[in-house]
Amino acid sequence: MSTISTNTPTAELQALDAAHHMHPFTTGTELAEKGARVITRADGCWLNDSDGNRILDAMAGLWCVNVGYGRRELAQAAGRQMLELPYYNTFFQTTHVPAIQLSAKLAELAPGDLNHVFYASSGSEANDTNLRLVRTYWAEKGQPQRQWVISRWNAYHGSSVGSGSLGGMKGMHAQGGMPIPGIAHIDQPNWWAEGGDLSPEEFGLERARQLEAKILELGPDNVAAFIAEPIQGAGGVIVPPDSYWPEIQRIVDEYGILLIADEVICGFGRTGNWFGSQTMNIRPDIMTIAKGLSSGYQPIGGSILSDEVAAVISGTEFNHGYTYSGHPVACAVALENLRILQDDGIVDGVRDDTGPYLQERFASLTDHPLVGEAKIVGMMGSIALTPDKAARAAFAADAGTAGFMCRERCFANNLIMRHVGDRMIISPPLVISRSEIDTLFERAWQSLDEAHEQLKAEGLM
């Protein structure tokens, strides 16, 4: 076996990577030809790669590094816990101090009576838990026929068979036998792309009322739950019209079905409150958490249940759990991460200080000729690229052509932004400073200019 390190030449690292490492959501042969970018170190909002570039990470990894890279306290919390108790499970009537501490802390932070935590190692696992949990809840209440879970097209809830089925990504459903039965999808509240002649408010109501129509179609007594992200993330940061969530809350209340808020991205300060449910003013029965829970320093996720849901589930043996449910090292790191978010005033900063500054600069991107709408809540935002703002037109080329072009220009300018179709999205570490926000905008503008020139040169607009 070859000995490699971060000092090994990039081409050698890339060749070995291509030979043995299979990447998620990637066409392997294409990547092998191009060579993967090798990230070697990171601090704050900045990544270093093996070619010596310093890259501004406006995506916080995969929307997760909320406290930024390089926080020594988190490494120390992990080290301490590994020396004291590196592993023990929480099956078979046992527990340990990190799981107890983290659960109590989450109960304190979560809104309303969301006071009970079931752990997983990821958002996907947590949503698989939720699928079994809501059906078990209704079976325990004497309504086992309540099997249907309603979700939305273009939602992302994970990549496992259960969570991928809950999600509404058609490209994912096309592979590997998804969706599994018992899951129905309604349309997303994406006014820019799908709103037609309706005002945003009218459109928000129309999309929310699809939930009511779907409940009536399936039979109100057959529906277990509705699951949604407060703001769709991986679907392109789709901020719903203001009319949307109040109407959804009315409908779930009226039909008495459970509401699952998938807070995997929106949680832990991303929207300017601890949870997106607070920003959107909704009252979920269950919240899915992951990502910002540990700022990505350890793989940990979970489901936070209301008093009532937890009481019903606790009445039976819930035959479900993972080896790493409530992993002590992950719990210790998450707890320290929550302390940092709280003590450093990071969540408050997103709401009152750097968040509003980012929003102001982000809104100004609509002055660029390529940008239609700019939507941002807290520190998750997206812009729609368009050849014609007034008509909210899509490009004639395949969806994603312009977005991909723009993302490549961002990479070349040492800025990580992501594209979803022809929307460009940001979700930076919540510790981003004002001067880093300025840098982000200079590079984003420059990349938009270059993409604009390229689109014109190739006759695509």
Tell me which residues touch ligand PMP (CB under 6 A).
Answer: 62, 122-124, 127, 156-158, 229, 233-234, 262, 264-265, 290, 301
Ordered DSSP codes for 66-135 = TT-B--HHHHHHHHHHHHH-S---S-TT---HHHHHHHHHHHHHSSTTEEEEEEESSHHHHHHHHHHHHH
Burial class for 52, CB neighbours closer than 10 Å (0-12, 13-18, 19+): exposed
CB of 385 to ligand PMP, least distance (A): 22
Closest residue to ligand PMP, based on beta-carbon distance: 123
Find tokens 């070859």 and name the residue.
2
CB of 237 to ligand PMP, least distance (A): 11
| Closer Cβ to ligand PMP, 57 or 229, answer by number | 229
CB of 201 to ligand PMP, least distance (A): 25
CB of 311 to ligand PMP, least distance (A): 26
| Closer Cβ to ligand PMP, 338 or 380, answer by number | 380
CB of 291 to ligand PMP, least distance (A): 6
Q: Can you read off the two tokens belonging to residue 35?
A: 């060579």
| Closer Cβ to ligand PMP, 77 or 155, answer by number | 155
| Closer Cβ to ligand PMP, 122 or 382, answer by number | 122
CB of 3 to ligand PMP, least distance (A): 32
Q: Can you read off the two tokens belonging to residue 228?
A: 């949604």
β-partners of residue 118 are 303
Find tokens 């009319």 and name the residue.
243
CB of 362 to ligand PMP, least distance (A): 20
Asked if the peptide bond before residue 179 counts as cis, ω within 30 degrees of 0, the response is: yes
| DSSP tally for the chain: helices H, then strands E | 18, 15
Ordered DSSP codes for 284-336 = -SEEEE-GGGTTTSS--EEEEEEHHHHHHHHTS------TTTT-HHHHHHHHH
| Closer Cβ to ligand PMP, 68 or 123, answer by number | 123
Are residues 117 and 134 in contact, defined by beta-carbon separation less than 8 angstroms?
no
| Closer Cβ to ligand PMP, 81 or 124, answer by number | 124
| Closer Cβ to ligand PMP, 160 or 210, answer by number | 160
Residue 159 is classified by DSSP as S
